[in-house]
Structure 1
Amino acid sequence: MTDFRNPAAIAPPVGAYSHAVHVTGPGQWLHIAGQIGVDAQGTLASGVQNQADAAWKNLLAILADAGMGVQHLVKITTYLVDSKDLPAVNAVRKEYLGECRPAATLVVAKELARPEWLFEIEATAFKGD
């Protein structure tokens, strides 16, 4: 069972996420490595919004391959190289997550593993038996 937690004893989340996700019972965990904005042929998308879109498509393809969907995401970590890109990547995130609110962390880093990468996302998912 997955329970999204936002206790009344603390301030509500400042964005589209939950403070915690409590998972109980038997099931399957999926840990997804950082996904960047490349298509199936390995071509890097241009611009942060297109890179975010491609990375989310990759993440959803991995979930689908494991028989899961966005509703099974319990934690995501997003990496950006420029905080000014937050509105653009939040729009992409909303398109893919809808009303799903996994626990989330956003990191703005000086750069990612390669200088042309502007966005990366990693995730953990759980599907109860």
Structure 2
Amino acid sequence: MRRHFSPPSLPAPFGRYHHAALAEGPQRLLVLSGQLGIRADGTIPEDVETQTQLILDAIDACLAEAGMERRHVLRLTTYLTEIDYRAAYMKVRDAWAPDPAPASTLLVVKALAQPACKVEIEAIAAG
């Protein structure tokens, strides 16, 4: 059983996410490595929206391989290389995110493992 919540004693989340996600009972735990927006042919699109969509497609593929769906996602951790990419990232992420939205952290970092990448996302799912 999973439960997503944002305690009323805390400030409201800044976006479409919950402060916490709890998995109880006998469940499988899926931990995904950071995914990058790289096409199957190895090319990296320039725009944040396309990179984000490729990453979310990769997360969907990993979930499917584990017999899970988006609704099983408990947490997303996102790394952006520029704060200015936040709106473009969130537009794509919010369209993808299940209900209830998972717990989420967004960090701005100097660089990612592939210099052309502007966004990287890690995920944790339970089901």
| Contact 1:45–1:54, Cα closer than 8 Å, also in 2 | no
Deviates more, 1:55-64 or 1:42-51: 42-51
Provide structure 1 residue ranges, at least 5 long, that are not aligned to the other structure: none
Alignment of 1:44-123 (within 5 A): 44-123=44-123
Task: Give the whole-Å Cα distance in 1 for the aligned partners of 2:111 and 2:81.
Answer: 5
2:5 paired residue number: 5
| Contact 1:70–1:100, Cα closer than 8 Å, also in 2 | no
1:27 paired with 2:27, answer yes
Give secondary structure in 1 for the equivalent of 2:115: coil
| Contact 2:112–2:118, Cα closer than 8 Å, also in 1 | yes
Give secondary structure in 2 for the equivalent of 1:120: strand
Give secondary structure in 2 for the equivalent of 1:27: coil
Q: Offset of 1:9 from its aligned partner? A: 1.4
Deviates more, 1:46-55 or 1:102-111: 46-55
Task: Give the whole-Å Cα distance in 1 for the aligned partners of 2:25 and 2:99.
Answer: 24
Give secondary structure in 2 for the equivalent of 1:71: helix
- The alignment's C-alpha RMSD in Å is 1.2
TM-score using structure 1 length:
0.93
Q: Offset of 1:98 from its aligned partner? A: 4.5
Q: Offset of 1:38 from its aligned partner? A: 1.1
Task: Give the whole-Å Cα distance in 1 for the aligned partners of 2:107 and 2:18.
Answer: 16
CA deviations over 1:102-126 (Å, ceiling 9, x no partner): 1110000111112111110000000
Give secondary structure in 1 for the equivalent of 2:28: strand
Provide structure 2 residue ranges, at least 5 long, that are not aligned to the other structure: none
Task: Give the whole-Å Cα distance in 2 for the aligned partners of 1:88 and 1:2.
Answer: 29
Q: Provide closer, same or farther for how the CA distance between residues 24 and 98 of structure 1 changes in structure 2, counting only shifts above 3 A.
A: closer
